[in-house]
Amino acid sequence: MPNTQHPRIKAWVNHLKKAVGTPDKHCYFVGHSVGCITILRYLESIKEQIGGIVIVAGYTTNLGYEDLESFFTKPINWKKIKTNCKKFVAIHSDNDPYVSLHYGKDIFKNKLNASVIIEHNKGHFSIDNNIMQLPSALKAVIELSE
């Protein structure tokens, strides 16, 4: 994604649109952290239906970071997102220092009817947490596509 140190919603969604081209029901997305809201904002901007999304350590507020403000200047259009995607899995860690379980268990489960997976002791699912693979995400994509 462009300018990862200072992400901006318009640049990130446009980058995703270019990378995807024309989405369809065989298109599946896996997002991590700010990539999750990027995918959700992307879904608000398209008319096609995609196959599914795996949300890893996703959130719906700026978490107190000014650099994330551009992603949250307007309310999330949950209805439009659900029109363009019917299958969601949210994966969260029970010790993520940035993203509370509330986002998976309350927000994504209630707003998107997402299946929620709680991983133990995975932090923010980053290299800093020595997380180089996430088998639950791969399994979720396979199950969404079946």
Please identify every stretch of the chain with a pLDDT value under 70, giving residue numbers as ranges.
none
Residue 24: the pLDDT is: 97
Residue 39: the pLDDT is: 98
Evaluate whether 115 touches 92 at the Cβ level (below 8 Å): no
Residue 19: the pLDDT is: 96
Residue 92: the pLDDT is: 98
Evaluate whether 16 touches 42 at the Cβ level (below 8 Å): yes
Residue 144: the pLDDT is: 96
Residue 1: the pLDDT is: 93
User: What domains can you pick out in the chain, each with its CATH number?
Assistant: 9-15+22-145 (3.40.50.1820)
